[in-house]
Structure 1
Amino acid sequence: MFSLPKNVAIIEVGPRDGLQNEKNEVPTGVKLEFIEKLQQAGIEEMEITSFVSPKWVPQMKDAKKIVANTRQVGRQFVLTPNEKGMELAKEAGASSFAVFVGVSDSFNKKNINKTTEESMHELKPFVQNLLKDGHFVRACISTAFYCPYEGAIDPAKTLELCKEFVSWGVNELSVADTIGMANPKESYILFDAIKKEFKDTLITAHFHDTRKMGLANIFAALQAGVDRFDSSAGGLGGCPFAPGATGNVATEDVVNMLHQMNIETNINLDLLLQAVEVVAPYASRPIETGMYKLFKSK
């Protein structure tokens, strides 16, 4: 008989990962209302924005305003891909940081024009300085299962990248199925290995729903002992550097599944759906997650 955790933490990535690839410009005020509604629903960990070049990700050009006007509840992460981004985020008052590196060299080069090794060499001193100054750092491991350019990724390569981040002392590993190609068996095998290897590090699973296996992959990861999951309200998202990647697994569908299994999230589903309602008019494609369609049909 499999075992499941009694409680699960949801890390909401909609305001950052969900919106970064939206073609429609979402006004700053709408983003702030979206974040506030998510907090009211009970979400205490959230990626709220990223300090990246507006030339490459114009949706994130208001990062400073987002940080300055977001209520401090739990952890509000900002994504910082390089030293400049980290300095701007610190100046804006950010206290929790996310950095990212792809296991795949090809993905990394398309994304930030560096190999995985070059990225890690550049990131190390900045991450260590953040940790030394008492900041919380989550390391996001992209293309942990599959790469849009290289295909299947050897799990040993993913574990090796995780091991290097852990050796720096990062607080959390967010391990991502960036293009939504993983299946539940692969999810269980990789997360079982990660949980056994890194017992003192927070482990978070991040799934996209490209092939509609996001919830199944989460269930498999639950059985491997994972009790932290990234998700995006409304299933918003995608990756500008990963052709074919659709949205993240939807927070409302994840929360509903967990609650149906008597796993507590401390999230109010009705209030969560009201948060989706705030951003839905600005999405470039209709929001058609299971729980949101039920919400709209009432």
Structure 2
Amino acid sequence: MLRQRVLTAVVLLALLLATIFMAPSAMLVAVFALVGAIAAREWAALSTWARAPSVALGYAALSYGLVMLAWWAHTRSAAWLPALLGLSLLNWLWVAWALAGYPQRVRPSVQSRWGIVQGLILVVPTIVACGHLQARPEGAWWLLFALFLVFAADVGAYFAGRRFGRHKLAPLISPGKTREGAVGGLLLCGVWAGVGLWLFKLTGGPALGFVLLCAVIGGFSILGDLFESACKRIANVKDSGNILPGHGGMLDRIDSVVAAVPLFVLGLMALGLA
């Protein structure tokens, strides 16, 4: 099992790096849109409104089409991008409120047609944000930094939780997560922010804003993980799918990314860095 997990992770990382550093932005968006469509299909399969496989496949196709349409519009004018990313921010603020009232407040995401809209809000802004970031100067490094920021939050939370974890973060949703682990994740995000300051040569006011942004994004990354866990508990499933050997579903791999990347790009735009 461990060998399978490692092999899958190595292959995915190689494909990810090749896409980020070698593909033009339009191709990157097309590839990432396919990933998003797979995640959208899994999201639909969690719900009560799309139990039929044909409906879930149709939803995946809708997701792919909307991503490509949004990217086409973005190539004509990026002026509306803050509004799209702001929609993602509003969604994640709603998620924070919903998780505080789990399970009742989270049920609409799985058991009502609100989930149809929400699944698209999870996918579309994320892919467009990735394309926007990769298309800018040094964009491949910026995008890789954003994705590794999510990784830092996850790794920091895991090891700090194992070593110092005492108090449950959300026992009804994810009993293995602790408050100490969350703090560890945020601290490692701060360390990774320091790498970003050096890599992108940031100083002064933008540097401080950048560090604070990375810490906030670390928090949203944890929120994304908790939200998917909450939805899976309501749907009574362990994994969102089985497309990735040893890793479960695609949504299981990008649950934090869909929370972090759109808001990271929105924050960079607010700081005048994107």
Which protein has the bigger helix share? Answer: 2
TM-score (norm 1): 0.25
